[in-house]
Chains A and B, each alone.
Chain A
Amino acid sequence: MIEFREVTKRFPDGTVAVDALSLDVEAGRITVFVGPSGCGKTTSLRMINRMVEPTAGTILVGGRDVMDGDPAQLRRGIGYVIQQAGLFPHRTVLDNVACVPLLLGWSRKRARARAGELMELVGLVPETAGRYPAQLPGGQQQRVGVARALAADPPVLLMDEPFSAVDPVVRQSLQDELLRLQSELDKTIVFVTHDIDEALKLGDRIAVFRVGGVLAQYDRPGVLLARPADDFVDGFVGRDRGYRGLGFLSADGLPLGELRTMTVGESVPERGWTLVVDADRRPLGWVDGGRNGASATAVRADGLVPGGSLYDTGADSLRGALDAALSSPSGLGVAVDGTGAVVGSVSADDVLTRLAAARADGAAA
C-alpha cells in the first residue's frame, strides 16, 4: 500500500533525518514508527503526504509516486492527525470535521451531514458540534482531530504522536477507541510515537528507528519482544520484554484445571482454597479452609480473601492467563467465559508449558 524505496532525507544544513529507508506498509493494518527523538520517524511519516519532500528515493502510495502530481490533491486523499490536534480555532467542531469534504467540493449540507456521522463514530456527543476547539479538553480535541482526518473516508491515515499530549488515562481510552475504529474501518494507518508501550499496543507491525534515520528492526510486536535485532532494539523495547511478549501469544490450547467452588452460606471446607461464587457462577473471593481453622462454619460474604485478575478464555493472551495465576492467593488463576462465569482454573506451570510449545512451533517467530 505504502512503499518506501531507498528513501533519504537530507536537510539543507546537512543533517540526515532519514537514511536509505526501505519498507512496505501493509494495507489495512496499523504500522507504527517508533524510536527516540531525532530518529526520523516523523520525517518519514511526513514524506508520505509530501509535507516533507525526499532528497532521494521513491515513496509509492497505492502504486503511485507521491512526487507525481499536485501535493494538495494527494493530501486530500490521506487523513492527517497531529500531536496538538491542530484544530482550526475559528471554526466550530462540526466545520472542522467537514473541512476536507468541503475542500473536495461537497455541498455544505452534505459535508456537515457527513461530519455529524463522523462525530458519532469517534464518540463525540452531538452537543459538541457547535462548540469551538478551545472549549474542549485535550482528549476531546484529539477525537475531533481523528474525525476530521476520516471525514472524506481516505484509505490511508497518518497519525503523528496524536495521543502524547493527553494524560495517561485519556490516552489509554483514545488508544482503545482507535483499535475499535480500526476493527470497523480497516484503514492503512501509519502511527508515529516515541512510546514503545503505545507501539506494542497499537501496532500490527512496528518499525524501530535509531538516531540518524536508520531502520533498526521492522517486525510484528511479538517478534520484536522475543527476538530484538540488536542491543539498541533490546534496550529500547525495555524491561520485562519476556513477560510482555506473552501478550502476543494466543492462549488457545491452554488446559483448564478443575476448580473447587462454593456459594455463600455453605460450610467452609476442611482444608485448601475454595473459590466462592454467586448464583451466576461469577467469582466473589476465596476462602482458605486450612488456615482459618474455622471449618464447618458458614461462609460469609464479608470474610472472603480478594481474588486476583481474571483470565477471560475468549479474549486474553498467555499474559492474561499468567497474571491470573500469579495474582491469585491460591496460586490457581480463575478462568472465566465472556459472561464472567467461572469455567475452570489455570496454573503458571501450564502457561510456561504452553509458551515452550509455542516456541517449538515457531509461533513467536
Chain B
Amino acid sequence: MRPRTSVLAGAVTLVLAGCGTPGGEAVGGGVTGTVTVFAAASLAATFDRIGRDFEAAHPGSTVVFNFAGSSALATQLTAGAPADVFASAAPQHLTAVTTADGTDGTPAVFVRNQLVIAVAAGNPEGVRSLSDLTRPGLKVALCAEQVPCGSAARRALDTAGVALTPVTLEADVRGALAKVRLGEVDAALVYRTDTRAAAPEVAAVEFPESDQAVNDYPIAVLADAPNPTAAHAFVAHVRSAQSQAVLTEAGFQAP
C-alpha cells in the first residue's frame, strides 16, 4: 500500500466515505473518500500520475495504490483483501478474482502492452529481428511462460517460427530487464513500456510478430468495493482521454 496522505487524513476520509451515500453513480458529485486500487506493477508510474489527477479533479478523495504482480494481487483479493478497483496486466488474473467474488459492472480493457526486444543502448550486437536472437553466442532472457510477458513471448516466437533457447526464464519482466541493464544478457523480450522506463540505458527493437504478443489490461470495480461511487469514477477517469494520453506517452497502446 502506498498511502499518499497522513494516517489522520486517511482516517478522516474513511469516516467521510462512511457518511457518503452509496450508489453506482459513475462521475460527478458525491465522489469522496478513499479508493483502494490494486494495480499491476507495470502500471506503477502511470497510475501514480493518474491517481494525482483524479484527486485534483475530485477534492476530498484519496487514491491508495497497491502495486504488485497481477497474480499476487489476484491471490490477495481472493483471500479477502479489501479493495475497490483491480487493474490487471492479463485478463486471466481478473477472471480469477471475478469468478470468486464477482464484479460491479463489466470489466473493460483500458490499455494494451506490446513486446519489444530490449537491448543495451546503441544495440551493440546489431539485433534487428527475432531470428537474430538465435545467433550463436548471443545470450537471451525471456520471462517464464507462467507470467504474462512469458506467454506473450511464446506466442510471438511461435508466430515467427523461431526456436530460441534462452539462458534464463525470468520470474517477472523486471528480472529480464535487469539482466539487460547489467549486461548479463544481450537481449530480452519485455514490454515496450519497460524499455521506455529504462531508457537511455536500454534500447527497444520493434518486431512485426509482436502483434501476436499483445497483452490486454482489464480494469473492474470489485463486487464488494467499500466505496463503489468513487471506484466507478476512478475507472471512468482511467478510461478518459486525459489518462489515456498519460498511458500512451509511457508506451502503452489504446485498446
Mutual binders A and B: no
